[in-house]
Amino acid sequence: MAKPKLKEHVINLDWCKGCGICIAFCPKSVLELDEKEKVVVARAKDCICCQLCELRCPDLAIKVEME
């Protein structure tokens, strides 16, 4: 199976509460918190599309869209 290729991370900033779970468990440290304590994509190129951020988000605020 071909490696999934990232299209984009869709983050719903109105729903994100900045708990940091997605950041803590991202195996590639793709995500960070910004000054407003909302999640932002810092290193999109490193994303391996494992979707663990999406599955562990308690706020249903992040979606990993693939090509």
Closest CA to 16 of 63, 66, 65: 63
In degrees and rounded to multiples of 5, residue 18 shows phi and psi of 65, 35
User: Hey, what amino acid is at 49?
Assistant: C
Establish if 10 lies at the interface with another protein (CB under 8 A). no
Task: Give 14 or 45: the residue with its C-beta nearer to another protein.
Answer: 14
51 close to 38: Cβ distance less than 8 angstroms: no
Give, as ranges, the residues between 26 and 65 that touch another protein (CB under 8 A): 52, 55-61, 63
Establish if 17 lies at the interface with another protein (CB under 8 A). yes
| Residue ranges binding another protein (CB under 8 A) | 14-15, 17-21, 23-25, 52, 55-61, 63
